[in-house]
Amino acid sequence: MRLHRQIEGGNDATDNDPDLITYKTPATVLGTGEVNLTLDAGIIENAGRNNLGSLGDRVWYDDNQNGIQDVGENGVVGVTVSLYQADGITLINAKTTDALGNYIFTGLPAGSYVVGFSNIPGGYTFTTANQGSDDELDADADAGSSGKTGIVNLALGEENLSLDAGIYAAPGLASLGNYVWNDVNQDGLQDSGEPGVPGVSVTLYDNAGNMVSTTTTDANGLYQFTGLTPATYSVGFSNLPSGYEFTNSDQGGDDTRDSDADPVSGTTPTVTLIAGQNYPDFDAGIFTNLASLGNYVWNDRIGMGYRMRWRKEYRA
């Protein structure tokens, strides 16, 4: 079941008063001795969706750069799409756009979300968001927002398939990135099997140290700044997971595998970008000396107190 739309019709004694997002009515002022029996809530069947909603929709090549999905403009495959909590930092889930440029997150409870787009093709940048009057056809994220939408309020059981991003080739602009990883063996190098770290804050600075833009690493630990005017920039990393610190920088002779963040400040050296350049080598390795433990909860259906390998197991 879910709430009906708020304030339908013109009779306050019979309409629905709570908001679909907060489930709260507007504020009501009561006079001395007043009795107000008009604050009602109507609920309706949720069409079999189990009260869960979904968010989607598409990344496309905006060939004419008008910010609108026009006939004949194709989707972009392989773009990483991240679903965040309302803070735009805490990662919930991640998808990759399919061959048509589409994506969807399903099974979502009512709440507030942010969607981020990253890992777009090199040499491309985001088109301008919120062009025209049709939210089904425009872009909802652009370079100015570091590829993230605004906060999206999803009602109970709602399906919102209007969160899009357009990209276009930008030969006169530049871009940079790239990666934050867990340096498990603390050697300062990206080794096979060392995973990326999602949710790390990344800040882009100009040559004077002024903040230009911010973003967060996606589910794979990647980040990207696009649509940059050719100039000199540096990057700072912050909001590391609790107990983590930066690994040593500039280890080995391969700049594509080392860490560029200063172990104390978390800031990289500067790089000067020229028109059309993509610089994918600003990385940061982090590590922790804290220990961990865990492992498994199972449904002990026959009460043996241990896992029976020959029986089918169920994760609780």
Classify residue 266: in a domain, yes or no.
Answer: yes
What's the CA angle centered on 219, arms 98 and 187, to 5 degrees?
A: 130
- Is the pLDDT at 131 greater than 80? The verdict is yes
Same-domain status, 205 and 269? yes
Report pLDDT digits (tens) over 277-299: 999 999 999 999 887 777 777 77
CB 221 within 8 A of CB 190: no
Classify residue 295: in a domain, yes or no.
Answer: no
Could you tell me what percent of the chain has a pLDDT over 90?
65
Token representation of residue 293: 């433990």
Classify residue 4: in a domain, yes or no.
Answer: yes
Q: Tell me the pairing of strands 165-169 and 174-182.
A: unpaired
Classify residue 23: in a domain, yes or no.
Answer: yes
- Is the pLDDT at 38 greater than 90? The verdict is no
pTM assigned to the model: 0.66
Q: H helices within 51-204, ranges in order?
A: none
Residue span of the structural domain in which 84 resides = 53-169
Say how many domains are in the chain. 3
Q: Is 73 helix (H, G, I), strand (E, B) or coil?
A: coil
Q: How confident is the model at residue 279, as a pLDDT?
A: 93
Q: How confident is the model at residue 229, as a pLDDT?
A: 92
Could you tell me what percent of the chain has a pLDDT over 70?
87
Same-domain status, 76 and 148? yes
Q: How confident is the model at residue 290, as a pLDDT?
A: 85
Q: For the purposes of burial, counting CB atoms within 10 Å of the CB of 292, is it exposed (0-12), middle (13-18) or buried (19 or more)?
A: exposed
Same-domain status, 21 and 75? no
- Measured in whole angstroms, the distance separating CA 308 from the mean position of its chain's CA atoms is 40
